[in-house]
């Protein structure tokens, strides 16, 4: 019994570390994307080429070491819906929100998704929603509010609606992926997911006339970084972590992304980092620390 308990605790620790790795990888996304945009890449070009790089790497890995699992028809349909209706729609809704409200406010509304995930996971995945998890949610949400600041202008309701839609879609994607990963191997899931996203964003970029290959070297480097670190490393770590600790705990830990993003912006782009942002980061760390407990 004690051995079983130790093994479970080890799995929980590994899961937390994997989600932390994914969160740190994803926190570099904004900085890399800004560098790509400065190098002449459009939003859809970045998305299309980013997932193309990831699909190539995941696909190569699958060819070298095939996964002995064949997706059933309903699993293929579920994955297609999650890819386009979840992941792709989240990105498009968020970038549309950027047109109407500041990026900081859009990201703030996006980060209601851990709360949505916790509620959905309680009803659909049977994950507990106890006092410790509620406290962790409150701490991390407060930290996000402090880090991202308050609006300097009146909020556009359409922009707010799009950002909230992105949060809900992101939550549905994470919970839906968790259910599918109960049957489908993570590596196979990531391979098919990135192939679908590549096809979708390349098609969309061509249809809108946004696909361009006239890119500065810095943009090419940034896109490769986005594909390798922000997609392959992040997805491989995140979903392996989710399988071990559950969707709701993973979502709470993922709120570390804003403070890490603020740090990268400060170090690499010369963006301002205030004492309040540091305090907000400390609140998020406190909330995430509560997830160290296996019963969270």
| DSSP symbols for 37-65 | HHTT--HHHHHHHHHHHHHHHHHHHHHHS
- Structure-block tokens of residue 238: 């995140």
pLDDT for residue 292: 57
- Using the structure block, give the residue that is written with the tokens 């556009």: 156
Q: Which domain holds residue 193?
A: 15-70+110-152+168-292
CA distance linking residue 34 with residue 245, whole number of Å: 32
Express each pLDDT in 192-214 by its tens digit.
Answer: 999 999 999 999 999 999 999 99
Alpha-carbon distances of 276 from 35, 270, 272, rounded to whole Å: 26, 17, 11
- Torsion of Cα atoms, 172 then 176 then 181 then 182, to 10°: 130
Q: What is the mean pLDDT of the chain?
A: 87
Is the predicted pLDDT of residue 151 greater than 60, yes or no? no
Nearest to 103 by CA among 152, 174, 65: 152
pLDDT for residue 272: 75
Q: What angle do CA 142, 144, 150 make, to 5 degrees?
A: 90
Which helix (DSSP H) or strand (DSSP E) does residue 67 occupy? none
In a domain, 104, yes or no: no
pTM: 0.86
DSSP 147-188: HH---SSPPPHHHHHHHHHHHHHHHHHHHHHHHHHTTS-HHH
In a domain, 128, yes or no: yes
Average pLDDT of span 96-105: 77
Which helix (DSSP H) or strand (DSSP E) does residue 232 occupy? none
Is the predicted pLDDT of residue 134 greater than 90, yes or no? no
Average pLDDT of span 174-179: 94
CA 236 to chain centre: 12
Judge contact between 254 and 136, C-beta under 8 A. Answer: no
- Structure-block tokens of residue 10: 């080890």
Average pLDDT of span 85-109: 84
Who has greater pLDDT, 88 or 129? 88
In a domain, 89, yes or no: no
Fill in the DSSP letter of residue 254.
Answer: G
Give the count of domains, the chain.
1
Is the predicted pLDDT of residue 107 greater than 60, yes or no? yes
Judge contact between 219 and 15, C-beta under 8 A. Answer: no
In a domain, 50, yes or no: yes
The end-to-end CA distance of the chain, in Å, is 21
pLDDT for residue 4: 65
In a domain, 234, yes or no: yes
pLDDT for residue 242: 93
Is the predicted pLDDT of residue 233 greater than 60, yes or no? yes
The CA R_g of the chain, rounded to the nearest whole Å, is 19
In a domain, 130, yes or no: yes
In a domain, 99, yes or no: no
pLDDT band, residue 296 (cuts 50/70/90):
very low
């Amino acid at each position: 019994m004690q051995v079983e308990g130790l093994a479970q605790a080890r799995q929980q620790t590994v899961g937390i570390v994997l989600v932390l790795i994914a969160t740190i990888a994803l926190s570099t996304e904004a900085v890399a994307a800004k560098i790509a945009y400065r190098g002449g890449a459009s939003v859809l070009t970045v998305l299309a080429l980013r997932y193309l790089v990831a699909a190539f790497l995941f696909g190569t890995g699958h060819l070298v070491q095939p996964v002995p699992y064949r997706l059933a028809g309903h699993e293929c349909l579920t994955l297609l819906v999650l890819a386009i209706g979840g992941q792709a729609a989240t990105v498009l809704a968020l970038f549309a929100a950027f047109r109407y409200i500041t990026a900081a406010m859009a990201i703030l509304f996006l980060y209601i998704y851990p709360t949505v995930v916790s509620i959905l996971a309680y009803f659909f995945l049977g994950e507990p929603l106890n006092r410790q998890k509620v406290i962790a949610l409150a701490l991390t949400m407060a930290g996000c509010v402090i880090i991202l600041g308050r609006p300097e202008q009146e909020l556009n309701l359409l922009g707010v609606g799009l950002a909230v839609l992105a949060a809900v879609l992101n939550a549905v994607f994470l919970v839906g992926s968790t259910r599918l990963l109960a049957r489908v191997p993570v590596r196979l899931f990531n391979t098919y997911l990135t192939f679908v996203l590549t096809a979708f964003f390349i098609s969309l970029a061509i249809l809108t006339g946004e696909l361009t290959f006239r890119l500065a070297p810095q943009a090419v480097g940034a896109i490769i970084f986005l594909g390798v670190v922000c997609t392959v490393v992040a997805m491989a770590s995140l979903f392996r972590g989710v399988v071990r600790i559950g969707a709701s705990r993973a979502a709470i830990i993922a709120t570390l992304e804003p403070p890490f993003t603020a740090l990268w912006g400060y170090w690499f782009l010369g963006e301002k980092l205030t004492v309040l942002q540091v305090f907000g980061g400390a609140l998020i760390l406190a909330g995430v620390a509560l997830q160290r407990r296996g019963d969270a």
